[in-house]
Amino acid sequence: MTRPYDAVIIGGGHNGLVCSCYLAARGLSVRVLERRSVVGGAAVTEEFHPGFRNSTASYTVSLLNPKVIIDLNLAAHGLRVIERPFSNFLPLNDHDYIKVGGGLAATQAEVARFSRRDAERLPAYYRMLDSVAAVLKDLLLETPPNVGGGIADLLQAWKVGKRLKSLGMAARRDVLDLFTKSAGDMLDQWFESDPVKACFGFDSVVGNFASPYTPGSAYVLLHHVFGEVNGKPGIWGHAVGGMGAITGAMAKEALARGVEITLDAAVARVDVVDGAVTGVTLDDGTVIRAKRVVSNLNPKLLFGKLVAAADLPAEFSQRIDAYKCGSGTFRMNVALSELPRFSCLPEVGPHLSSGIIMAPSLRYMEQAFFDARTFGWSRQPIVEILIPSTVDDSLAPAGQHVASLFCQHVAPVLPDGRSWDDHRDEVADLMIATVNRFAPNFGASVLARQIHSPQDLERKFGLVGGDIMHGALTLDQLFSSRPVLGYGDYRTPVRGLYQCGSGTHPGGGVTGIPGHNAAREILRDR
């Protein structure tokens, strides 16, 4: 038995670290328990081949909240983010491509190659997204009001309603469209060119096991507009040293504030007496007493494995059982002897430092989803490549490179009882072959590879069904309904048990916002 703590946090991922920093700053004694031997959760940098390091699961920066960056002194701890020169580069075939980013004028000029009408409509499309995002962005740092809650929740609901009421009628219609329509339907309304629609439509399937024509997928377009890098909205970037540089900086700040971080400390159960937490018990039998327990885990793991069913309302447990997870993600890292040479743009250039996307049309993306639903994985999958070593030479030996392959769609659970362990190499070969269709030297340049199937992502990082978002970003699992209506305020049915992970508002991505918001509610309850 250890000394009691004011708060014990289960999971040393980025949100757990953020929450610990805010709590410690207010004088609470805090201990973070991490199951793995390295802190950072899914935002870590690891060597996967001698001399080759890369971000293992999460792989790019944009959504990390500026307030969190400032409050946790991340720049002082060495965090540096390099902006992408372009947002995305999409090879279309052996002869043509489309690039997005580098400023409005550059993007318009690129879009005009395919449709002058689409180029003319582009500023209005950006304005529509920005106007809605500007209002909803303010809600990211707010605690969702609980339906059926008290006076505080009524006031919070009023504040939310007031913000939305400030929108004009056109913007309100845009909000309704973005929350209810499919991304494909939205983009079909705005644009006529298939390559242009593919550029923007890719965001709707990132971490989302769905067709771009699935109702509600338009919101995911908006989710990816919330970000910024170095004060520039809508920009994506690379953390020098990989994503582990973010959580490494957070851990330094946590330690500076007196937080205890314990590695190789898997939690076996949350201890509850008379409806209130008393602490946790580790796999090795160690009991750690705490006034509060804060979970950074997927809600299905917390309530399905660590909290006894007898300590939860039956209806709540049923809702958690129905909570949808599974982002259709197959994640790879590869060591490369040389840079890929794309048939449509073979020279070395800034396009190799952007997001490189093999998904030339919405139809392609839709078929990939249908294939995965039917067969377990896409016969022609969606593959996004990032090559961070083009801007960060600390990740690979001189003259060589590392690449992240973020691959969609694959079924979170294979049909017919098959195991991902039996098919992971087969699918990895397919992903490399898919890139090779557009860059014929790619396959031969692969020196080594690290494979994470959905099953691997769940075992290694606790991402249930390989879900990088800790739960689908659908209307029934957002804001006050994330993870369950009535418990959207980071609290749970158990007194003293809180959630601070991406299974709470506002959802997935390396944002730090759930950790920030959860800490505020914990401190309100002191």
What are the extents of the domains in the chain? 7-45+62-81+241-324+471-524, 122-230, 326-465
**What's the token pair of residue 326?**
């599974």
For every residue of 172-233, DSSP letters joined together read HHHHHHHHHS-HHHHHHHH---HHHHHHHHGGGGTT--S-TTSTTTHHHHHHTTS-EETTEE
- ω before 483 within 30° of 0 (cis)? yes
Provide the residue type at 429 as one letter.
D
Instruction: Round to whole Å and give the CA distance between 382 and 372.
Output: 11
Span 29-69, pLDDT tens digits: 999 999 999 999 999 999 999 999 999 999 999 899 999 99
State the average pLDDT over residues 231-239: 87
Phi, psi of 274, rounded to the nearest 5 degrees? 55, 40
Q: What is the pLDDT of residue 160?
A: 65
Phi, psi of 93, rounded to the nearest 5 degrees? -165, -160
Domain 326-465: assigned CATH number:
3.90.660
All residues at 6 or more sequence positions from 467 whose CB lies less than 8 Å from its CB, including other chains = 207, 298, 325, 326, 327, 329, 412, 508
Q: Please name the residue that has the structure tokens 């039998």.
A: 285
Higher pLDDT, 208 or 75: 75
Longest dimension (CA), the chain: 70
Residue 474 exposure: Cα atoms within 13 Å on the Cβ side: 15
Residue 478 in contact with residue 505, Cβ under 8 Å? yes
Span 385-442, pLDDT tens digits: 999 999 999 999 999 999 999 999 999 999 999 999 999 999 999 999 999 999 999 9
Task: Kindly state the DSSP code that residue 311 receives in the 8-state scheme.
Answer: G
Q: Please name the residue that has the structure tokens 């690379």.
A: 238
**What's the token pair of residue 300?**
């299905």
Higher pLDDT, 65 or 134: 65
Instruction: Round to whole Å and give the CA distance between 82 and 66.
Output: 15
**Alpha carbon distances (Å) from 249 to 80, 266, 324, 442:** 10, 23, 32, 34
Query: 259 pLDDT exceeds 70?
Result: yes
Nearest CA-CA partner of 330 in 417, 402, 430: 430
Instruction: Round to whole Å and give the CA distance between 152 and 241.
Output: 43
Instruction: Round to whole Å and give the CA distance between 402 and 55.
Output: 10
Which CATH superfamily hosts domain 7-45+62-81+241-324+471-524?
A: FAD/NAD(P)-binding domain (3.50.50.60)
Query: 165 pLDDT exceeds 80?
Result: no
Instruction: Reduce the DSSP state of residue 400 to 3 states and report it.
Output: coil
Nearest CA-CA partner of 200 in 104, 88, 355, 94: 88
State the average pLDDT over residues 151-172: 68
> What is the distance of C-alpha 209 from the center of its chain?
13
Residue 187 in contact with residue 197, Cβ under 8 Å? yes
Residue 18 in contact with residue 490, Cβ under 8 Å? no
- Identify the H or E element spanning 270: strand 267-273
Q: What is the pLDDT of residue 434?
A: 97
**Same fold flag, 7-45+62-81+241-324+471-524 and 326-465:** no
Higher pLDDT, 516 or 219: 516
Percent of the chain exceeding pLDDT 90 equals 80
Q: What is the pLDDT of residue 221?
A: 80
Pairing of strands 401-410, 377-386: antiparallel
Span 456-466, pLDDT tens digits: 999 999 999 99
Q: At what angle do helices 116-139 and 151-165 cross, to 10 degrees?
A: 160
Q: What is the pLDDT of residue 149?
A: 64
- pTM comes to 0.95
**What's the token pair of residue 509?**
């991505």
All residues at 6 or more sequence positions from 426 whose CB lies less than 8 Å from its CB, including other chains = none
